[in-house]
Structure 1
Amino acid sequence: MVISASLCACVFLLTAVRCHSHVLPRLSFPMGSPGRSLTVFTNDDSYNATTLLLSNDEGTLFVGARDTILSINISQTDMTLKEKLDWSPSEKDFNDCSMKGKLKMDCHNFVRVLQVLNSTHMYACGTFAFSPRCIYINSQTFTMVTGPSGKPEEGRGRCPYDPYQKNSAITVDGELYTGTVSDFRGTRPVISRHLSEGSHVDLKLDDTLGWLEDPTFISSTYIHSEEKVYFFFSEIGKEYDFIDKFTVSRVAQVCTSDVGGQRTLQKRWTTFAKAQLLCQADQELPYNVLQDVISLSPPEGASEDETLFYGIFTSQWRVNLGRSAVCAFSLKDIKKVFTGRYKVLNRDTLKWSTRVQEQMANPGECGLHNASDNTLRFVKDNFLADKSVLPVNQGLTVVSPDKSYSNIAAQRVQGARGKYYTVLYLLTESGFLHKTVLLKKGAHIIEEIQVFHQPQMVKSLLLSVSKGAVLIGSSEGLLSVPVSNCSHYRSCAECVLARDPFCGWDLSQRVCKLITTSQNQLAQDVDEGKVSEQCSSVNLRSRSGQPQNTQTLCPPGEVLSVSLNEVINLQCPEASNLAKCHWERLNSQLSPKIFIQSVNGSLSFVATPSTLGHYLCQAVENGYTQTLIVYHIKQKNNPTILPSSPKITPTSAEAGNKTPFSTPTAPKHTELRPKPEDPSSTVAHKDSPATTTRKSKNFTPLISAEEESSWMNERSGNFKQVDKPTYLQELVVVSVLLALCVSALLTIAFNRFRHVCTSRTIAQTPCSRRDVEKGGSATPQERESLRGHSPRLEKRNGQAPNGQSHIGQAHNGKSSITLSNNMLNGSNGHLPNTPI
């Protein structure tokens, strides 16, 4: 029965998994794309930018790297190095590290803690050859100073030994709160407080109580109104004893006013409590492994209970392998769970159960350091909340079926109508940054930007709101990505379809620009992206200076001169990853028997008189139709003789785009691609299918057939003639041979006709050919035949057995006539008096 129940439970879990719809980024910018600029900072002597810290004015970025700490000026467009502080182990430290069995490359000093301590000093800790150390740094002179002991402090419990182990650290009122491990092997996790002064003492968890179970610390944050520090981490969930090594995500809290107990829990936390973070949708397996967490402060004037924590979660289950989910948790829900019931651990059986008796105290409540020993013993055994913290709206904020997110940043942005939107910056393990806006209907990925050539582990991601940049630290160096890219959108339709809360269309200047508090009436629709409502009254003007109405004009076309029976391949530029491309032909339907529309948007067909004319490539996005390019296919005329080797133009067919067609003669393959983009062009060059870059620059709707015909006549001069490879020399040779053959046939026919006319003047008798030449007399029947009254002959059974042909009787009853074989041979097998 137990096996059957377990089997049913497993089947239910597997069948409960639902497939989420794939959220595609609207635009994609590969590395080095001119449509998205990046600022990269590298230093020859600095590697592994693992820790980032912004100054209070956000004009200086402090970077904790390998053996160095850098001070970088980010107040300008480019990042420039201000100061560099070397902090590397000595040769003896390297030798001692190697004696411990560690690789030399791991024995460097990796700075893992970098915090502002006060107005004049910073505090830094590093792994320092698997012997952690901490130093003070003068913020003004950017020099290393000694602490109260006069020498570098030991970093045990403040920084990990291993550079690959995760940790968290935060300073509050000059005190350092850390979550890390306190031993060389990394088996003793600890949440502790350091640098305490006065009545405060350094505190830590009693690791013998099992308060932490092999945790991986992710992040920590301070809530001023609560006077609490919250730690986020993942660990083994011992309460789920029916699953071996089941990972759960946690949030834990400690009060900054805690000073430990007087007798029980001396120099130990009396306010420690933890709860589970449950990132799970209905009828799905949970995303249980926490990767990164960021806090987002509430809007101005709102309660601090509205603070949100956005976390990236992955799953240890095979069915969710390679997926990521983003869940949001509110401070109000976290507080509610911590004020509820708690589980109790049976020390004899090591089993967790929900406490049903009345609680002696509320675990996690501040001020318990003055409580009685019985109360502290109760708190000591009841530190795990009974209920889990559920995500906001009871669902997942973002789901990525095929991308693994590693880091997150968030900010609140005010749109054109004063409405606030939440924008997330999600970094994938493959090296792409996803800029995502959260809407009521779901997440919308505005764009993805490739920031690394090769996938790598990113150590830190930081958002500078005042500078409008996302700062990323990795082994390749430091990168700065602007949060907005409004100038990339060249028309009102593009600007509105982007649904970017940073950008709006200026009706007077006809440009997509960054929204400020003084310019909040720009055309924008982040929630719906309705172009017709925002741009219906806008008289668009292209970058070339030509006015355009949103519903009348198409982009300039391309003229393609082809020969009949050629295979034509028309390429369509991409508008966005969300647009659906299709082809239109004026006053005609595109029959699938004649036209082939490929998955990449190209159109292939054979050039015939019926397939010549205009072709329009259109893209439909969010109910808005835009014409991307117009082709005019016409037949070649007035051919001239060219050299034997035709010049191959950029519009010639590529080997990878051949379309299988079967025609009576071997057709030539013609492919027309949009020309490469230039500042005045409205059509962008189509790149390799390996990248999905932004192509089109002007969005215009499809026009009617009558308007298109009139427009084509008026603007025929705007079509660009595309040179095509010709075979005129071969055509001339074939024409000459054809003329010679026709002349020979005409000559033979003329000779036959003259011979027949001559034979009509000679008397035809049943005698031999010699008698005819001697002018023998003709019978009455033969004379009648010469006058044009020859009886209708009827062939019977072919030739007679004696070699003669029998002619049947005429309808007038006259006797049959027998002709000799000699006469048949003399007239090439045809009857006498019968012209060819």
Structure 2
Amino acid sequence: MAPSVVFLLLGLLGSASSLPPPRISFLNSAERPLVLFSHPNVHNTTTLLLSNDGSTLYVGARDALLSLDVSQSDVINLKKKVDWRPSEEEMTSCSDKGKDAEVDCPNFVRVLQPLNSTHLYACGSYAYSPHDAYIDTESFSMINQRDGAKGRCPFSPSRGTPPSPSVNVNSSPRPRPTSEEQNRRFLDTSRGRSDVSQDVSVSLLEEPSFVSSALDPSDRKLYFFFSEVGKEFSFVDQLLISRVAQVCKDDMGGQRTLQKKWTSFAKAPLLCRSAKQLPFNVLQDVFTLQPLEGSMDSDTLFYGVFTSQWSLGPESAVCVFRLQDMRTAFAGRYRTFDTQTHQWSPMLDKRSYLGKCGLDNVSDSVLAEVKKSFLTSNSIKPDGLGPIVVSSEYRYSRVAVMRTQAANNKHYTVLFLLTESGFIHKVVLFDGGSQVVEEIQVFTQPQLVKSVVLSTSKGVLYVGTSEGITAVPVARCSIYRSCSQCVLARDPLCGWSRTTRACTGLQEGDHDDMAQDLEHANVEEQCQGQTEPGRDREISVHLNEAVQLPCLKPSNVATLSWTSPRIKDHTEKLFIQSADSVLSFFATADTFGTYHCEAEEGGYKEVIVSYDVRQVAPPRAMSPIPDTESHPPIGRDESYEDIVTNASERSTTRASAEPEDIITSKAGDFTTFVKEVDPDKDSTLKTDSEDEKADAPTSIHDVQFRKEQPDDLQTLTKEKSYHTELVVVSLLLTTCICILIFGGLHMWRHRKLGLKTNVLESPGDDSRINQSMESVPSLSSPEDPELKVVE
């Protein structure tokens, strides 16, 4: 294919309108709790079956079958476990065939269907040799295990493909198609008759990949949904086509022609594309939504998830098909296959017997035409002639659908779409389009095989992966804490109760008390008298301190803005709003005030949070309170020498004289210096000038006050000043050094004079010299030549 054609195809794919982003996201959030079940010895829990009462979840896993108690919404308990694994000899035989012992040879249970109220039917790959068995639900024990189940379930785990579809009719296992190349057959084992399979002389299927099956009870037909290679087109590259195939429930095969072969088999293409767009041609999953009570079976809907084989990104779409349209297609014109040229050509006229049931007694000529004419000429187009959901950012792999009644008594459809990246997208279909009301993260690591089962009665979606089973509640209305947010959510499962003033789930009955507007989200009309103004959050900061005001978006589609009289006057100079809507500025006289964060969504504005930014009030100064009774006020002209302080008033008297201690404590705009005085000394202090008298102490603590910086320099009010301590320590260090120097000089001078006076003659003998110097060590050294002892 030419590069220009490829770019054209990619352009056509990307031009379709895409699904809006999720309104709200929960990434492992505690506000949207999930229930996870996992067992250390159980893996690949991907085949799920919910009991009729919704209290038990049956799970087909690798080498095991599980019975889980899901009667409570907040916990999943293991009731019973049945081991179902191949023997060592069977594992060895599987490995000898060139299969991987860990990947291909275990028993992967791929089919799990109810037979009746007391038994289940199970089928597994079983070391690449399919086995099936019956399970007693009362004791959850295996009975009547047997081999020879080829065609009922896949040989291998079919990595990357969904479990093999199956359907139960009249309490017996029914046709189960497989994608195995060794045996592509449809089987019917009801009433003990022999198997009925497809005709092998004509290739009815071309490398099919089945995803789902459904029953049409009124027409007694079975439908199977799959993708296969389309041979009706002549392309160099293989073109995948999504299809639906039918067989009649009571098809017994022909008398001579097509003996034990399907005579009612027919298939039709499923077309999922928008106008003038390339189709989404690969079918991933199909969910069958039964009609409302009292409606006809022809109103049954099939919701299919599609991807494109040409897509380079995670594009996907959802199309819905009506059962009536499928019936019409199978009752219309067909194509016939030329066995010589291997080409398909449309038939000129309509054959009424093609695609019909009850052909077991027709002529051989009719069956010969049936044998080669099983592909419809017309494709089955989706309801609304286009996809209901198109996403250019997510690749959906599974879908579950429920229908619910809103407060206005109108029914809405809710889709639960599982992405390959591990998110559940809750999509609501409105008259004007679809919206993802929320996304919930289910698993973090990509899962190759996964399945979903929806319990509408309990309101829980069960997701089965190789890691375990996760229970996801379909709604959690309490996360919307205001009437506006509850209405803006547009969730048909949630409404604002005007009585309790809370967002709750809708219950059956009278909905007059509920505020809900799914189509227009008119908050003003629905929330009259229900909105309470929020209180301002007081933020106290210091002058010139950096301030950051956070504001969380109530939803992903809301836009935030800040309002304040301060912002209007100084927007560009003083304020910065980051990408996450945090408002940053420095606390100054121009920025103190009130700030409001507003969210706008759907034309409605509301204040999310308000802040009142104030300057920290300066604490009261720690000035001493004068005791006028014991110490009268000191006048300006009174001399400090006349002030006498009694030693008994001192509370921190030291027992011995110690160096002067200076203790600094900060209180408000003042710094207090506490200087201790020895009580043994004169308690009166003398100064040399009047300026020094002004700073002299007024008590035994020698308390002194110094005014802090002026108001315009109070940016340092939060930091403690150590200037005074530094000066005092420096003076003490200088004094000590000087004392050491003078002491050393004094000792050196004293010793020098002592040497000179000790050189004396003996009084008794003029000729002898006093030998007292012999005991004095010499101070002379080569480094000090001036100091010598004269003998």
**Alignment TM-score, normalising by the size of structure 1:** 0.72
Confirm or deny: 8 A CA contact 2:285 2:305 kept in the other structure.
yes
Secondary structure of 2:94 counterpart: helix
Secondary structure of 2:201 counterpart: helix
1:568 counterpart letter in structure 2? V
Q: Distance in 2 between matches of 1:561 and 1:210?
A: 80
Secondary structure of 1:258 counterpart: coil
Confirm or deny: 8 A CA contact 2:560 2:599 kept in the other structure.
yes
1:163 aligns with 2:157: yes
Q: Distance in 2 between matches of 1:570 and 1:592?
A: 17
Q: Deviations over 1:133-165 (max 9, x none)?
A: 11111222221112xxxx513111111111125
Seen in structure 2, the aligned counterparts of structure 1 residues 238 and 640 have a Cα distance that, compared at 3 Å, is: farther
**Could you tell me which residue of structure 2 aligns to residue 242 of structure 1?**
235
Confirm or deny: 8 A CA contact 1:189 1:207 kept in the other structure.
no
> How many Å apart are 1:61 and its aligned residue?
1.1
Secondary structure of 1:453 counterpart: coil
**Could you tell me which residue of structure 1 aligns to residue 113 of structure 2?**
115
Confirm or deny: 8 A CA contact 1:180 1:189 kept in the other structure.
no
Which of 16, 22, 26 is the equivalent residue of 2:23?
26
Seen in structure 2, the aligned counterparts of structure 1 residues 11 and 573 have a Cα distance that, compared at 3 Å, is: closer
Q: Distance in 2 between matches of 1:10 and 1:455?
A: 29
**Could you tell me which residue of structure 2 aligns to residue 177 of structure 1?**
174
Seen in structure 2, the aligned counterparts of structure 1 residues 734 and 399 have a Cα distance that, compared at 3 Å, is: farther
Q: Distance in 2 between matches of 1:430 and 1:14?
A: 23
Q: Distance in 2 between matches of 1:293 and 1:378?
A: 31
> How many Å apart are 1:307 and its aligned residue?
0.9
Seen in structure 2, the aligned counterparts of structure 1 residues 527 and 138 have a Cα distance that, compared at 3 Å, is: same
**Could you tell me which residue of structure 2 aligns to residue 102 of structure 1?**
99
> How many Å apart are 1:733 and its aligned residue?
7.7
> How many Å apart are 1:349 and its aligned residue?
1.5
Q: Deviations over 1:4-45 (max 9, x none)?
A: xx78765653443405345211111112x2211211112222
Secondary structure of 1:591 counterpart: helix
Q: Distance in 1 between matches of 2:205 and 2:31?
A: 48
Question: Where do 1:673-822 residues align within 5 Å?
Answer: 727-728=716-717
**Could you tell me which residue of structure 1 aligns to residue 412 of structure 2?**
421
Q: Distance in 2 between matches of 1:437 and 1:325?
A: 15
> How many Å apart are 1:122 and its aligned residue?
1.4
Which of 520, 525, 528 is the equivalent residue of 1:528?
520
> How many Å apart are 1:127 and its aligned residue?
0.8
Which of 296, 302, 310 is the equivalent residue of 1:303?
296
Q: Distance in 2 between matches of 1:422 and 1:410?
A: 7
Secondary structure of 1:494 counterpart: helix
**Could you tell me which residue of structure 1 aligns to residue 778 of structure 2?**
none
- Which structure 2 residue ranges, 5 or more long, are not aligned? 623-662, 667-713, 727-791
Q: Distance in 1 between matches of 2:99 and 2:621?
A: 77
**Could you tell me which residue of structure 2 aligns to residue 572 of structure 1?**
551
Q: Deviations over 1:605-654 (max 9, x none)?
A: 3444333322111111112211111122334452799999x9xxxxxxxx
Seen in structure 2, the aligned counterparts of structure 1 residues 20 and 270 have a Cα distance that, compared at 3 Å, is: same
1:153 counterpart letter in structure 2? D
> How many Å apart are 1:513 and its aligned residue?
1.5
> How many Å apart are 1:308 and its aligned residue?
0.8
Seen in structure 2, the aligned counterparts of structure 1 residues 577 and 8 have a Cα distance that, compared at 3 Å, is: closer
1:334 aligns with 2:334: no
Quick check: 6-15 or 588-597, which moved more? 6-15
Confirm or deny: 8 A CA contact 2:516 2:526 kept in the other structure.
yes
Seen in structure 2, the aligned counterparts of structure 1 residues 492 and 361 have a Cα distance that, compared at 3 Å, is: same
**Could you tell me which residue of structure 2 aligns to residue 613 of structure 1?**
593
Q: Distance in 1 between matches of 2:3 and 2:395?
A: 30
**Could you tell me which residue of structure 2 aligns to residue 353 of structure 1?**
345
Which of 68, 71, 79 is the equivalent residue of 2:67?
71
**Could you tell me which residue of structure 2 aligns to residue 212 of structure 1?**
205
Quick check: 413-422 or 173-182, which moved more? 173-182
Q: Distance in 2 between matches of 1:290 and 1:318?
A: 14
Confirm or deny: 8 A CA contact 2:398 2:417 kept in the other structure.
yes
Secondary structure of 2:367 counterpart: helix
Secondary structure of 1:192 counterpart: coil
Which of 448, 451, 454 is the equivalent residue of 1:460?
451
**Could you tell me which residue of structure 1 aligns to residue 81 of structure 2?**
84
1:585 aligns with 2:551: no
Q: Deviations over 1:349-378 (max 9, x none)?
A: 21222111x344432111122211111111
Q: Distance in 1 between matches of 2:46 and 2:509?
A: 39
Seen in structure 2, the aligned counterparts of structure 1 residues 218 and 586 have a Cα distance that, compared at 3 Å, is: same
Q: Distance in 2 between matches of 1:473 and 1:190?
A: 27
1:60 aligns with 2:56: yes
> How many Å apart are 1:266 and its aligned residue?
0.6
Q: Deviations over 1:263-297 (max 9, x none)?
A: 11111110111111111111222111111100101
Secondary structure of 1:605 counterpart: strand
Confirm or deny: 8 A CA contact 2:22 2:436 kept in the other structure.
yes
Q: Distance in 1 between matches of 2:474 and 2:408?
A: 20
Which of 29, 40, 43 is the equivalent residue of 1:44?
40
1:228 aligns with 2:212: no
Q: Distance in 2 between matches of 1:570 and 1:408?
A: 41
1:342 counterpart letter in structure 2? Y
- Which structure 1 residue ranges, 5 or more long, are not aligned? 541-547, 647-724, 738-836
Q: Distance in 1 between matches of 2:57 and 2:578?
A: 49
Confirm or deny: 8 A CA contact 1:460 1:473 kept in the other structure.
yes
> How many Å apart are 1:118 and its aligned residue?
2.2
1:627 aligns with 2:625: no
1:598 counterpart letter in structure 2? S
Q: How many residues align?
A: 631
Q: Distance in 2 between matches of 1:88 and 1:102?
A: 16
Q: Percent identity?
A: 45
Q: Distance in 2 between matches of 1:388 and 1:640?
A: 86
Q: Deviations over 1:37-96 (max 9, x none)?
A: 211112222211121111222221111111111111111232212111111111111111
Seen in structure 2, the aligned counterparts of structure 1 residues 14 and 72 have a Cα distance that, compared at 3 Å, is: closer
Confirm or deny: 8 A CA contact 2:125 2:155 kept in the other structure.
yes
Secondary structure of 2:327 counterpart: helix
Confirm or deny: 8 A CA contact 1:639 1:728 kept in the other structure.
no
> How many Å apart are 1:207 and its aligned residue?
3.1
**Could you tell me which residue of structure 1 aligns to residue 638 of structure 2?**
none
Secondary structure of 1:112 counterpart: strand
Quick check: 595-604 or 58-67, which moved more? 595-604
Question: Where do 1:259-658 residues align within 5 Å?
Answer: 259-318=252-311, 321-356=313-348, 358-521=349-512, 522-536=514-528, 538-540=529-531, 548=532, 553-564=533-544, 566-586=545-565, 589=568, 591-638=571-618
2:136 counterpart letter in structure 1? N
> How many Å apart are 1:562 and its aligned residue?
3.5
Secondary structure of 1:44 counterpart: coil
Confirm or deny: 8 A CA contact 1:360 1:378 kept in the other structure.
no
Q: Distance in 1 between matches of 2:595 and 2:718?
A: 31
Seen in structure 2, the aligned counterparts of structure 1 residues 555 and 345 have a Cα distance that, compared at 3 Å, is: farther
Seen in structure 2, the aligned counterparts of structure 1 residues 735 and 366 have a Cα distance that, compared at 3 Å, is: farther
Confirm or deny: 8 A CA contact 1:177 1:191 kept in the other structure.
no
Q: Deviations over 1:785-833 (max 9, x none)?
A: xxxxxxxxxxxxxxxxxxxxxxxxxxxxxxxxxxxxxxxxxxxxxxxxx
> How many Å apart are 1:736 and its aligned residue?
14
1:218 counterpart letter in structure 2? V
Q: Distance in 1 between matches of 2:12 and 2:90?
A: 54
**Could you tell me which residue of structure 2 aligns to residue 255 of structure 1?**
248
Q: Distance in 2 between matches of 1:203 and 1:391?
A: 32
Q: Distance in 2 between matches of 1:14 and 1:478?
A: 37
Confirm or deny: 8 A CA contact 2:10 2:311 kept in the other structure.
no
> How many Å apart are 1:594 and its aligned residue?
4.1
Seen in structure 2, the aligned counterparts of structure 1 residues 189 and 330 have a Cα distance that, compared at 3 Å, is: farther
Seen in structure 2, the aligned counterparts of structure 1 residues 629 and 275 have a Cα distance that, compared at 3 Å, is: same
**Could you tell me which residue of structure 1 aligns to residue 137 of structure 2?**
139
Q: Distance in 2 between matches of 1:124 and 1:14?
A: 43
Q: Deviations over 1:198-235 (max 9, x none)?
A: 6x542111133111000101000111112111000000
1:227 counterpart letter in structure 2? R
